[in-house]
Chains A and B, each alone.
Chain A
Amino acid sequence: MERARHLRSLRSALDAVAGGDGGVLVLLGGEAGGGKTALVREFCRTAEPVLWGACDPLFTPRPLGPFVDIAHDLGGELHDLLEAGAKPHQVAAALARWAQAAARPPVIVLEDLHWADEATLDVLSLLGRRIAAIPALVVATYRDDEIGRAHPLRRLLGEVRGTGSVRRLAAEPLSIEAVAALAEPHGVDPAALHRVTAGNPFFVTEVLAARGADIPATVRDAVLARAARLPAAATTVVEAVSIALPHCELSLLESLVAEAAAGLEGALAAGILEVVPGGVAFRHELARIAIEESLTPYRRIALHRAALDALAASGADATRLAHHAEAAGDTAAVLRFAPAAAEHAASIGAHREAAAHYARALRFAGDLGPAERATLLERRSQECYLTDQTNESITALEQAVALRRGIGDRLGEAAALSLLTRRLWCGARTHEATRAGHEAVRLLEGLPPGRELALAYSNLSQLYLNDEQFDETVAWAQRASDLATTIGDTDVIVHSLNNHGTIELLAGRPEGLAKLERSLALAERPGLEEHVGRFFIHIGWAMTRTRAHELAPWLDRGIDVCDELGLEGWRLYVQAYRARLHLDRGRWDDAADDAGFVLRSAESVPLLRILALTILGSIRARRGDPDPWPLLDEALALVDGQHELQYRVPVVMARAEAAWLGGRGADAEEATRDLLADAVARRASWVVGELAWLRRLAGRDEPVTGVAEPYLSQLAGDAGAAATRWEKLGCPYDAALALVGSGDEADLRRALAEFQRLGARPAAAIAARRLREHGVRGLPRGPRPQTARNLVSLTRREVEVLALVRQGSSNAEIAARLFLSERTVHHHVSAILRKLGVSSRTQAISESARLGISTPT
């Protein structure tokens, strides 16, 4: 009844899709028992074709569960893909192809996404982002009160928002009038009913079906009251079905209950159970839970055990078997099925579920031998690592190391220690990481050389890479690579090539790129996905450090590749570096979007939060927006105890710049002093330049060596040359920052204009103040910051210059005509090229004509 409005929305969405405007994704939220399923069923009654899939309420759901359901009905390509173990992007592509080939746009229903496994969420994310190109109406339901801040679904909901192709509906509780209308035929007091049930549709219908004298106080009581009215045979069937997830096949039911037919009839007739594809199930999950919880422990265990036996014999899904095995307390079965379920989940990219399965196996591993337990721990550690659960990853691996040491397995202990170095670094425990790394090498050098030693060498080279120690990095990488080549271990060759190439790129040596590219080429095979992710992260790091923006295309590609391979954590790093790229290029809105996304998603990796917080803080400080300091203070807390430049530089620089912009130059100077010495020691010439220039702006004039261009020029007093270099690098803010430190009035005017164009209010105020100190009066308000929508607006002077450019005049000729210095004309031409977004005079002529900019003839 009250759902008419929502039904209309769904209908209009389907009409929009049928009209050929591309697909629509509808996200339907509501509380448990809120009537989402009923609403969607009502809508689908008159729609065709409909594909229906639901997520399991299993603690560890079947990977791609709803798509397995859909493929069951659909057959064809999707079915074959899933049988063969498809990855999320393949599933999404197959669905899209099917929708495009269908005669009418289909409705695809995905229910209960709050229970979705990681692979299912990946598919939904891909569908959501490309929905405009998929001619289908996708309706996804979820319990909005069950997804906390950190739930993966919440992140996805944030990701796909904001376009017309994604719509949100909420199934609200029933109003008192609606409850009254339902209650009237039963003679139940509608006010009391509404008060107790809070308008929850499921609760209301259960109460009315129970037909008791009193209104039960909870949903559970209502369900049990209704079930109590069943005859004994039906009750037995209902109890048996309650333990079967996602539904109960008829064959399974027969194994659980002798002569189930009569009882089943009764349960179906009473409306507690319903027929679904594949068997029978409860009408609502809330009912199933209520019944299952009401079973005696003995009966529950007995049912699970019987289900386990029956399903194992018929070769069912390892996930279901593991679930029943755990509920039955069958240790041997858990240890048999949980690892199998984990491997299956991992193979299709559902790493969260894989980690949970290993955890389940470990709970039952008390009697396992230490070596087997260590293996389970190592695998769990890997899965936790891949899903950004860094602390759990470290704990599991530490336990594995202790176990291996306990049984004298030196090789195993060293291999685990070596792996632990990487995990500890991710958890920002660098000292422990270095200790573990050297210990691993020490142990392994006492044994015949093999891949474990090669890997241990390479892990050490990675630690030194992160600390930006050039010589140590190269030395350990070389040892690793030599040994790995001898024994033919591609994994280590890829890893060490990457380390070597990265340190070279950071030092400004272009030959590093070739090594990195070679490592990527070697890594493009199954099992080496992590290395692919590392490639993109290191490209991002080196690119942002040395402003090598020609490497920028790698970042967009990196995000796509990481998504495809299910590398969540890696993708966030690449995105953080892309945010920095946007910041440097003056695209502050894009930078804020990327940094904001990373902040919402980064759970436990401190470096990710540091990168994102400092970018967002810098944007606010540069714009003069409130308030950068909470972000910058959080970043400072995260960097506590860290020594590496890649941790400290973003924080120190962002805070120092914000302080200087806020008129507190002394704070800026103090914050940067120690870091400058460390950067000089590491020969990190870009960092030295950045720090030295900010200190100069804050009033500190000191000699400094080992500085990269363009900083070298601006520190030497040639602001114009530096600004030109910065503009070539595509960094307008840095160009203006170079000019604002100059004593030359024209430079300061240029800086002011550029800061105004970028919307950098505090810096513009500083430039204006310095101009006034030069005795300049009557400063221009300047052009307003250009948003993407606004048309190009040239100043009056620039229009004059452009006119002459169009006539083919050289800078010298223009200077003569307009009575300006050649240098000033050069500046105007640069500004025109930049505003038009071109890089040559010829392009400027054609672009300005295209835009219809008229100039005086």
Chain B
Amino acid sequence: MPRYIVERTFDSGLHIPVDQAGAETCLAVVGRNAEEGVTWLHSYVTSDRSKTFCVYDAPTPEAVRRTAERNALPVDQISEVSVLDPYFYR
């Protein structure tokens, strides 16, 4: 299954509260993703919270976009990636 980086821009910034409601929001996203075989691994968020870089395993880019639609998340760009670790070559 390919790995993707999904770039998203949030006009009013991404704000997920650090409490029960926030946890439920994230798990709801995970649940809706599962319907399409999409796995959200983790995300990198810029300091001003306007942009995220989300790491996903998914069968196709279309599946990523479908789950984004269902989760009301914007999609700027999808890139297929593989992991490079500096200590790989030791």
Q: A626 contacts B4, CB within 8 Å? A: yes
Q: B69 contacts A789, CB within 8 Å? A: yes
Q: A589 contacts B78, CB within 8 Å? A: no
Q: A626 contacts B65, CB within 8 Å? A: no
Which residues of A413-444 are within 8 A (CB) of B? none
**A504 CB to nearest chain B CB (Å):** 36
Contacts of A589 in B (CB 8 A): 62, 65-66, 69
Q: A625 contacts B61, CB within 8 Å? A: yes
Residue of A nearest to B68 (CB): A787
**A616 CB to nearest chain B CB (Å):** 7
Contacts of A162 in B (CB 8 A): 35-36
Contacts of A623 in B (CB 8 A): 61, 78
Residue of A nearest to B35 (CB): A162
CB 8 Å contact bits of A90-128 with B (1 = contact, 0 = none) = 000000000000000000000000000000000000000
**A411 CB to nearest chain B CB (Å):** 51
Contacts of A625 in B (CB 8 A): 61, 78
Which residues of A609-629 are within 8 A (CB) of B? 616, 619-620, 623-627
Contacts of B36 in A (CB 8 A): 162
* B contact residues, total (Cβ < 8 Å): 20
A789 CA to B78 CA, complexed, in Å: 20
Contacts of B84 in A (CB 8 A): none
CB 8 Å contact bits of B45-74 with A (1 = contact, 0 = none) = 000000000000000111001100100101
**B88 CB to nearest chain A CB (Å):** 23
Check if B77 is an interface residue, CB within 8 A of chain A: yes
A626 CA to B76 CA, complexed, in Å: 13
Residue of B nearest to A781 (CB): B9
Check if A41 is an interface residue, CB within 8 A of chain B: no
Contacts of B62 in A (CB 8 A): 589, 592-593, 596, 616, 619
Check if A761 is an interface residue, CB within 8 A of chain B: yes
Contacts of A593 in B (CB 8 A): 62, 66
Residue of B nearest to A616 (CB): B62
Contacts of A817 in B (CB 8 A): none
Check if B43 is an interface residue, CB within 8 A of chain A: no
**A609 CB to nearest chain B CB (Å):** 16
A162 CA to B63 CA, complexed, in Å: 12
CB 8 Å contact bits of A737-764 with B (1 = contact, 0 = none) = 0000000000000000000000101000
Contacts of B77 in A (CB 8 A): 624, 761
Check if B79 is an interface residue, CB within 8 A of chain A: yes
Residue of B nearest to A588 (CB): B65
A348 CA to B3 CA, complexed, in Å: 46
Check if A673 is an interface residue, CB within 8 A of chain B: no
* A contact residues, total (Cβ < 8 Å): 20
Check if A161 is an interface residue, CB within 8 A of chain B: yes
A625 CA to B78 CA, complexed, in Å: 6
Partner of A161, one of B11, B35, B61, B78: B35
A593 CA to B69 CA, complexed, in Å: 13
Given contacts A620-B61, A626-B80, A761-B77, contact A787 B69 (CB under 8 A): yes
Q: A626 contacts B69, CB within 8 Å? A: no
Residue of A nearest to B74 (CB): A784
**A761 CB to nearest chain B CB (Å):** 7
Check if B13 is an interface residue, CB within 8 A of chain A: no
Residue from B62, B72, B78, B79 whose CB has the most chain A CB atoms within 10 Å: B62
Residue from A616, A624, A625, A787 whose CB has the most chain B CB atoms within 10 Å: A625
Residue of A nearest to B60 (CB): A596
A788 CA to B74 CA, complexed, in Å: 12
Check if B2 is an interface residue, CB within 8 A of chain A: yes
**B43 CB to nearest chain A CB (Å):** 19
A436 CA to B6 CA, complexed, in Å: 53
A616 CA to B78 CA, complexed, in Å: 15
Q: B35 contacts A626, CB within 8 Å? A: no
A429 CA to B24 CA, complexed, in Å: 56
**B8 CB to nearest chain A CB (Å):** 10
**B77 CB to nearest chain A CB (Å):** 7
Q: A626 contacts B72, CB within 8 Å? A: no
A557 CA to B6 CA, complexed, in Å: 37
A625 CA to B75 CA, complexed, in Å: 11
Residue of B nearest to A592 (CB): B62
Contacts of B78 in A (CB 8 A): 623, 625-626
Residue of B nearest to A628 (CB): B61
**A748 CB to nearest chain B CB (Å):** 22
Q: A789 contacts B72, CB within 8 Å? A: yes
Which residues of A35-94 are within 8 A (CB) of B? none
**A622 CB to nearest chain B CB (Å):** 12
Contacts of B65 in A (CB 8 A): 589, 592
Which residues of A665-692 are within 8 A (CB) of B? none
Q: B9 contacts A784, CB within 8 Å? A: yes
Which residues of A785-826 are within 8 A (CB) of B? 787-789
**B4 CB to nearest chain A CB (Å):** 7
CB 8 Å contact bits of A583-604 with B (1 = contact, 0 = none) = 0000001001100100000000
CB 8 Å contact bits of A7-49 with B (1 = contact, 0 = none) = 0000000000000000000000000000000000000000000
Contacts of A592 in B (CB 8 A): 62, 65-66
Contacts of B4 in A (CB 8 A): 626
A596 CA to B77 CA, complexed, in Å: 20
Residue of A nearest to B65 (CB): A589
A616 CA to B60 CA, complexed, in Å: 11
Contacts of B69 in A (CB 8 A): 589, 787-789
A759 CA to B80 CA, complexed, in Å: 18
Contacts of A787 in B (CB 8 A): 69, 74
Residue of A nearest to B66 (CB): A589
Q: B66 contacts A626, CB within 8 Å? A: no
A626 CA to B62 CA, complexed, in Å: 10
Partner of B61, one of A626, A761, A788, A789: A626
A626 CA to B56 CA, complexed, in Å: 13
Contacts of B74 in A (CB 8 A): 784, 787
Contacts of A624 in B (CB 8 A): 77
A328 CA to B13 CA, complexed, in Å: 74
Contacts of B79 in A (CB 8 A): 626
Residue of A nearest to B9 (CB): A784
A627 CA to B80 CA, complexed, in Å: 8
**A599 CB to nearest chain B CB (Å):** 10
**B81 CB to nearest chain A CB (Å):** 9
**B58 CB to nearest chain A CB (Å):** 11
Residue of A nearest to B64 (CB): A625
Residue of B nearest to A626 (CB): B80
Contacts of A596 in B (CB 8 A): 60, 62
A23 CA to B65 CA, complexed, in Å: 29
**A628 CB to nearest chain B CB (Å):** 10
Contacts of B72 in A (CB 8 A): 789
**A624 CB to nearest chain B CB (Å):** 7
Contacts of B9 in A (CB 8 A): 784
**B64 CB to nearest chain A CB (Å):** 9
Contacts of B35 in A (CB 8 A): 161-162
Residue of B nearest to A631 (CB): B60
Contacts of B80 in A (CB 8 A): 626-627
A589 CA to B11 CA, complexed, in Å: 22
A593 CA to B36 CA, complexed, in Å: 12
A624 CA to B80 CA, complexed, in Å: 11
Contacts of A784 in B (CB 8 A): 9, 11, 74, 76
**B27 CB to nearest chain A CB (Å):** 16
Residue of B nearest to A161 (CB): B35
A623 CA to B2 CA, complexed, in Å: 18
Which residues of B9-50 are within 8 A (CB) of A? 9, 11, 35-36
User: Can you give 6 A-B contacts (C-beta < 8 A)?
Assistant: A592-B62, A620-B61, A623-B61, A626-B80, A784-B74, A784-B76
Given contacts A593-B66, A626-B4, A789-B72, 16 further A-B contacts (CB under 8 A): A161-B35, A589-B62, A589-B65, A596-B60, A596-B62, A620-B61, A623-B78, A625-B61, A626-B61, A626-B79, A626-B80, A761-B77, A784-B9, A784-B74, A787-B74, A789-B69
* Residues of A near any B CB (own CB < 8 A): 161-162, 589, 592-593, 596, 616, 619-620, 623-627, 759, 761, 784, 787-789
* Residues of B near any A CB (own CB < 8 A): 2, 4, 9, 11, 35-36, 60-62, 65-66, 69, 72, 74-80
